[in-house]
Amino acid sequence: MYRHPSFELLLHDDEELAGYLGSPISQRITIHEWPLSCVQRIVTEQGDRHIYKVQAPPTLEAQFYARAQSLLLVSVRVIEAKDNMTAMLMEEIQAPRLKDIPLKESEAAATANDLMTMISRIDGDLPVMIDISTEEGWTAYIEAALRDISECIHEGSFKEVDFTKVNKLRKWSEAPALLAEICSPSGLVHADLKAENVLATNDGYRVLDWQRPIWGPVSLDAATLLLSLGVDAARYVPIGIIQMYHFLHLAWYAQAARKWVPQGKPWFDRLISEIAHDLELKQL
Q: Is the predicted pLDDT of residue 283 greater than 90, yes or no?
A: no
Q: How far is CA 211 from CA 2, 58, 229, 253, in A?
A: 23, 8, 21, 15
Asked whether residue 136 falls in the same domain as residue 223, the answer is yes
76 and 116 in a single domain? The answer is no
pLDDT digits (tens, 9 = 90+) for 114-156: 999 999 999 999 999 999 999 999 999 999 999 999 999 999 9
Question: Is there a single domain that holds both residue 140 and residue 84?
Answer: no
* CATH number, residue 85: 3.30.200
In a shared domain, residues 77 and 172? no
Mean pLDDT confidence for 268-283: 91
pLDDT of residue 96: 97
- The whole-angstrom separation of Cα 247 and Cα 84 is 27
Q: Which of 62, 91, 120 is the last residue of a domain?
A: 91
Confidence band of 282 (pLDDT split at 50, 70, 90): confident
Distances (CA, A) of 138 to 63, 179, 188, 235: 24, 9, 15, 24
How many domains does the chain divide into? 2
Q: What is the mean pLDDT of residues 85-113?
A: 97
Q: Are residues 62 and 177 in the same domain?
A: no
Contact 79, 89 (CB under 8 A): yes
Task: Give the pLDDT of residue 8.
Answer: 92
For residue 264, give its domain range.
98-281
Task: Report pLDDT for 83.
Answer: 79
Residue 281: what pLDDT?
A: 80
Q: What is the 3-state secondary structure (H, E, C) of the chain?
A: CEECCCCCCEECCHHHHHHHHCCCEEEEEEEEEECCEEEEEEEECCCCEEEEEEECCCCCHHHHHHHCECCCCCCEEEEEEECCEEEEEEECCCCCEHHHCCCCHHHHHHHHHHHHHHHHCCECCCCCCCECCCHHHHHHHHHHHHHHHHHHHHCCCCCCCCHHHHHHHHHHCCCHHHHHHCCCCEEEECCCCCHHHEEEECCEEEECCCCCCEEEECHHHHHHHHHHCCCCHHHCCCHHHHHHHHHHHHHHHHHHHHHHCHHHHHHHHHHHHHHHHHHHHCCC
CATH of the domain at 130: 3.90.1200.10
Residues 185 and 250 in one domain: yes
Q: Residue 284 pLDDT > 60, yes or no?
A: no
Which stretch of 139-148, 157-166, 175-184, 273-282 has the lowest confidence by average pLDDT? Answer: 273-282
Question: Which of these three, 91, 125, 151, is where a domain ends?
Answer: 91
Choosing from 91, 119, 146, the residue where a domain stops is: 91
Mean pLDDT of 79-106: 95
Same domain, 114 and 62: no
159 and 269 within one domain:
yes
- Which carries the bigger pLDDT value, residue 82 or residue 267? 267
- CA angle, 65 as apex, 63 and 66 as ends, to 5°? 60
pLDDT at 257: 98
* Residue range 182-195: mean pLDDT, rounded: 97
Q: Are residues 54 and 28 in the same domain?
A: yes
Ramachandran assignment for 9, one of left (phi > 0), alpha (psi -120 to 50 degrees), beta (any other): beta
Judgement on whether residues 68 and 175 belong to the same structural domain of the protein: no
Q: Would the pLDDT of 245 be above 80?
A: yes
Q: What is the mean pLDDT of residues 208-234?
A: 98
Cα separation, 220 vs 178, in Å, equals 12
Task: Please tell me the predicted confidence (pLDDT) of residue 90.
Answer: 97
Whole-model pTM? 0.95
Is the same domain home to 202 and 117?
A: yes
pLDDT band at 82 (very low <50, low <70, confident <90, very high): confident
| Residues 265 and 241 grouped into a single domain | yes
Q: Does pLDDT of 113 surpass 60?
A: yes
